[in-house]
Structure 1
Amino acid sequence: MKLTIYHTNDIHSHLHEYARITEYLIQERPKLQHHSLYLDIGDHVDLSAPVTEATMGIKNVELLNAAHCDIATIGNNEGMTISHDALNTLYDNATFDVTCANVFDEQGRLPRNMSSSFIKVIDGVRILFIAATAPFTPFYRALDWIVTNPLAAIKDEIKANEGAYDLLVIMSHVGVFFDEKLCQEIPEIDLILGSHTHHYFENGEINNGVLMAAAGKYGHFLGEVTLEIENNSIIKKEATLHPVDGLPEVETHFDEEGKMLLNDSVIDQPISLPRRTDTITQTAHILAESIFEFTNADCTIINAGLIVNGIDAERLTEYDIHQMLPHPINAVRIRLSGLELKNIIIKSQKQEYLNEHAQGLGFRGNIFGGYILYNLGFIESESRYFINGELIHDDETYILGTIDMYTFGRYFPTLKDQPTDYLMPEFLRDIFKEKLLEY
């Protein structure tokens, strides 16, 4: 028996590219003289796309249906960028199976419409599919989910299905280093379909007898794995990638659809909100003020590049605000000492990333931009630092209201280990919009 498994991962709502993948699948799968499956390994949903934002990911599920997806799992974008209720209803109309072994609610239940693993029988061959997602614990807890150790969850599912399957396929949205560890810890795995770290293998990679396959990001590739099976065991396994440039071209209108769905007015009068990354604009000041008030903090630090687009129009719509702040970034409250806060201020004034092209950590802009301080002051020559005009004392505790991307260690390593409250599910654009309504 021969089985072809097509796979995508980390589409991140690059829907035109995904439409090309879909067209290829619709054309090519019926031509095969053997069975095939199509699996998506998570982060298909990304609210940086207006049509995804407007439908809270439902549009993406419709597109997976149209592509005749067989099995999907969730990435951190499905798990953490939409509300608890939205994840519970995301797959209500899915025509494919959804599985993930390591996300539960506080009563120990999986998200609705999901199974902890899935067995599919093809010509008498029993294939066990187990999926796990990256354990961003504080974010999941802020949304009333519990995310468990993915390795332990996978091992538990294997044990629970002992004797019930012939082949073992892992759908991993945890990253390539985790997948390499899986190969060493569980060499009986036949195939790992990887994701999360946006890696890809042109022809797969064999690690301790396990075939690892992954298809990069943003629909740049469609992955294809071919398994040859005899006596319920794999005798040959191969992987390849199809670059999107070689797939059928299609006409799409996702941007127009998203703009139409987000056409409601927020402010119904002329408005100008400029965008600059090298100086403090009114727009950036309003954003900083909105985060300061939303977090109920003592002070706030943000970067100007969070404002991706300016606006100068007769009215302001939901679409406009989305385009200004398309990130899946949340506000946070960080508790730190006065001495640590002073060091953060000093580091911010170096403006190390003023003109840097930034990516990752949820950032959906281009230039990082300069830092903006709100309710903070300093006299650098005298090493004196102030909150609301009062001197900052080294041994006192203060609350910094800022953004979650600063807690990952890239820009302010000190903040990575501080006590932090993640304020979810509101994004920056939601906070900013509420502040604009006061003007």
Structure 2
Amino acid sequence: MRVTLYHTNDIHSHLDAFMSISAYMAEHRPQLDHPSLYVDIGDHIDLSLPVTEGTMGKRNVQLLNEAQCDIVTIGNNEGMTMAHDALNTLYDDARFTVTCANVFDVKGQLPNHFVQAHIREIEGVRFLFVGVTAAFTPFYRALDWVVTDPLAAIQDEVKRYAGAYDILIVLSHVGIFFDEQLCEVLPEADVILGAHTHHHFLEGKMVNGVLMAAAGKYGHFLGEVTLDIENKQIVNKQAILHPLETLPKVSTYFDEEGRQLLDQPVVSQAMTLQRETNFITQASYELAKSIHEFIGADCTIINAGLMVTGYQDKVLTEYDIHQMLPHPINTVRAKVSGRTLKEILLTAREQTYMYERAQGLGFRGDVFGGYILYDAGYIASSNRYFIKGEEIEDDKIYVLGTVDMYTFGRYFPMLKGQKMEYLMPEFLRDIFKAHLQRS
């Protein structure tokens, strides 16, 4: 018997590309002379696309239904960028199975419509699918979810279903390094379909007898794994990728759809919001102020590149605010010593990333831009630092307001390990919109 597994991952709401993938499967799956499944390994949803934001991910679910998806797991974008109730209702209309073994509510219950593992029988062969997602603990806790260790979660499910399955398929939205480790500690896995780190393997990668397959990001590839099975065991397994440029071209109208969904005005009078990345504008200053007030901070730091577009004399709509701040980025209330705060301000003074193109960590802009300080300053000649006009004391604890992308170590390494609170689910656009409406 032969079984084909089509797989996608990290589409991130690049729905134009996804429609080409869907069209290819609609044409080719019926032509197969053997069974097939289509699985998605998470981060299909990204609220940086207006139509995804306007439907809170349900348009993505509809498209997965139309693509005759069979099984999915969730990524951090499904798990961490949506409010608790939004994730609980996301899959209400799904016609596919959602498996994730390591996300629970505070009472130990799975999100609605989730299963920890799923057995799919095909011509008498029992396939066990186990999905896991990356354990970003503080973010999940801020949304009243508990995320557990993905390795332990997989091992628990394998033990639970011992003797009840023939072939083990892991859907891993944890990253390539985790997957490589999993190959070593769980050699009984037949295939690991990977995601999260946006890696891809043109012909798969075999590690310790386990086939790793992954399809990159943004719909750049459709993955296809072929399994040849005899006596309920795999005797041959192969992986290939179909590049997007080889797939059917499809006309889509997602931008127009999103614009209509988010067409409601958010202010009553026309506004001008200038966007610049290498100096502070009134608009970027107001963005910093809105975050500062939302957090209740002693001082706040953001980067100008967070503001992706500007407007001239326009009555702003939900769509406009979304286009200005499309990031799935949350704010952070960090408690730091004056000594650490001085290090942060010194690093900001250097403006290392002002002209650099940035990506990842939730950032959906292009140029990083210069740092903007609110209620903080310094005298460079004497190396003195101030908050609200008062000199910073080394041993005093201050509340720093900032964005979550600074807490992962790249921009401000000294923030790692500091006491901090992630404020969720509000995004920057939610905070700025409320500020504009109050002004």
TM-score, reference length from structure 1 = 0.99
The answer to whether residue 275 in structure 2 is matched with residue 297 in structure 1 is no
Q: Distance in 1 between matches of 2:66 and 2:362?
A: 28
Per-residue deviation at 1:204? 0.3
Residues 318-351 of structure 1, C-alpha deviations (whole Å, 9 max, x = no match) = 0000000000000000011001101111110100
Instruction: Tell me the matched-pair count.
Output: 439
Structure 2 counterpart of 1:352:
352
Q: Distance in 1 between matches of 2:191 and 2:339?
A: 50
Per-residue deviation at 1:311? 1.1
The answer to whether residue 21 in structure 2 is matched with residue 21 in structure 1 is yes
Letter of the 2:173 partner, please give it.
H
Letter of the 1:349 partner, please give it.
R
Structure 2 counterpart of 1:92:
92
Structure 2 counterpart of 1:193:
193
Per-residue deviation at 1:379? 1.2
Structure 2 counterpart of 1:327:
327
Q: Distance in 2 between matches of 1:347 and 1:177?
A: 30
Letter of the 1:262 partner, please give it.
L
Structure 2 counterpart of 1:253:
253
Residues 347-391 of structure 1, C-alpha deviations (whole Å, 9 max, x = no match) = 101000010000000000000000000001211212221111111
Residues 270-303 of structure 1, C-alpha deviations (whole Å, 9 max, x = no match) = 2110100000001110110001000001000000
The answer to whether residue 430 in structure 2 is matched with residue 430 in structure 1 is yes
Q: Which runs of 5+ in 1 are unaligned?
A: none
Structure 2 counterpart of 1:368:
368
Q: Distance in 2 between matches of 1:189 and 1:394?
A: 53
Letter of the 1:420 partner, please give it.
M
Q: Distance in 1 between matches of 2:320 and 2:7?
A: 34
Residues 66-120 of structure 1, C-alpha deviations (whole Å, 9 max, x = no match) = 0000000100000000000000000000000000000000000010000000000
Per-residue deviation at 1:314? 3.1
The answer to whether residue 315 in structure 2 is matched with residue 315 in structure 1 is yes
Q: Distance in 2 between matches of 1:82 and 1:312?
A: 31
Q: Percent identity?
A: 64
Residues 372-387 of structure 1: pairs in structure 2 closer than 5 A: 372-387=372-387
Residues 33-432 of structure 1: pairs in structure 2 closer than 5 A: 33-432=33-432
Per-residue deviation at 1:438? 2.1
Residues 385-431 of structure 1, C-alpha deviations (whole Å, 9 max, x = no match) = 11111111001000000000000001000011100100000000000
Q: Distance in 1 between matches of 2:319 and 2:327?
A: 13
Q: Distance in 2 between matches of 1:214 and 1:417?
A: 32
- Matched position secondary structure for 2:36: strand
- Matched position secondary structure for 1:6: strand
Per-residue deviation at 1:268? 2.6
Q: Distance in 2 between matches of 1:314 and 1:395?
A: 47
Letter of the 1:432 partner, please give it.
F
Greater Cα shift, 379-388 or 249-258: 379-388
- Matched position secondary structure for 2:416: helix
1:406–1:416 contact (8 Å) kept in structure 2 = no
Q: Distance in 1 between matches of 2:427 and 2:176?
A: 28
Q: Which portions of structure 1, spanning 4 or more consecutive aligned residues, are displaced by more than 6 angstroms? A: none
Q: Distance in 2 between matches of 1:352 and 1:380?
A: 16
Structure 1 counterpart of 2:9:
9
- Matched position secondary structure for 2:223: strand
Per-residue deviation at 1:189? 0.5
- Matched position secondary structure for 1:358: coil
Q: Distance in 1 between matches of 2:4 and 2:313?
A: 51
Q: Distance in 1 between matches of 2:416 and 2:302?
A: 16
Letter of the 2:60 partner, please give it.
N
Q: Which runs of 5+ in 2 are unaligned?
A: none
Letter of the 2:113 partner, please give it.
N
Q: Distance in 2 between matches of 1:314 and 1:356?
A: 30
Q: Distance in 1 between matches of 2:339 and 2:133?
A: 37
Letter of the 2:399 partner, please give it.
I
Q: Distance in 1 between matches of 2:33 and 2:313?
A: 56
Per-residue deviation at 1:134? 0.1
Letter of the 1:381 partner, please give it.
S
1:268–1:314 contact (8 Å) kept in structure 2 = no
- Matched position secondary structure for 2:177: helix
Letter of the 1:308 partner, please give it.
V
Q: Distance in 1 between matches of 2:416 and 2:8?
A: 32
- Matched position secondary structure for 2:33: coil
Letter of the 1:209 partner, please give it.
G
Letter of the 1:23 partner, please give it.
A
TM-score, reference length from structure 2 = 0.99
Q: Distance in 1 between matches of 2:128 and 2:289?
A: 51
- Matched position secondary structure for 1:266: coil
- Matched position secondary structure for 1:127: strand
Q: Distance in 1 between matches of 2:258 and 2:179?
A: 36
- Matched position secondary structure for 1:146: strand
- Matched position secondary structure for 2:178: helix
Letter of the 2:135 partner, please give it.
P
